[in-house]
Amino acid sequence: MPYSIMLDAGHGGRDTGAVYNGRQEKDDALRLVLAVGEILQNNGLDVEYTRTTDIYQSPYEKAMEANNAGVDYFVSIHRNSFPTDNVVSGVESLVYDLSGIKLEMAENINEQLESVGFVNLGVQARPNLVVLNRTKMPAVLVEVGFINSNADNTLFDNNFDDIAQAIASGILDTLNEKDSVSAHSVYYVQVGSYRNPAYANRLLNELLEQDYAASLVEEDGFFRVRVGSFRTLEDASEMEQRLKQAGYPTVIIG
């Protein structure tokens, strides 16, 4: 079964994103997302998009669209901006926290973009961004150069195909590395284990209302509430950390 990914072109519609000399972030992001998606599809991934035209969706709507689609990964593409023109240039990626496969993917994407010519500004943790903290799957937001940097815009325009290939290669390299570590493992994050099914169902409904992919399993006389089904221990650890931060007791099982 191939991996699935949702690609998000940042902003859209009435939300132009950053603007510089008439150039709009939403346009660059959409053009690049469609090019990256074509490469990933040609390499066997199931690709979905939050948008393929110039429409507006809130960050929350984008996150929920990814959750409802049940994709394995979420990558959002943007252009960066700085208060003063032509002062800062380079690519950086944002993740919920600096751990797990999302960090590896962000680092791989940055390294590939650096090989095209961008300055690599590294990976930053941004737990306050909705598309990173409300998505249930590993998520990365890539800032592909500064839109108010003439140097970055020249690089973007003159090397567009190479940039699209770099982002796709960063994603594909990460998935290939993941497969080489563990191709068949399945892990779950257990949040509760009860003798009384009423308690288990109460916890199950509470988690489902918060958009966690929760399920209930009966075994050995216990009703166990679990979240997710993860191919690697790293993915399960990401979810465990998120649940712990939300106040739930957790244990990873596999």
pLDDT tens profile 130-178: 999 999 999 999 999 999 999 999 999 999 999 999 999 999 999 987 7
What does the pLDDT read at residue 184? 52
The average pLDDT across 217-244 equals: 87
Look at residue 1 and tell me whether its pLDDT is greater than 80: no
What does the pLDDT read at residue 181? 53
What does the pLDDT read at residue 177? 77
What does DSSP assign to residue 94?
Answer: E
What does the pLDDT read at residue 100? 86
Amino acid 111 reads E
Binned at pLDDT 50, 70 and 90, residue 16 comes out as very high
pTM: 0.74
Q: Percentage of the chain surpassing pLDDT 70?
A: 96
| Polymer length of the chain | 254
CA distance 71 to 235: 13
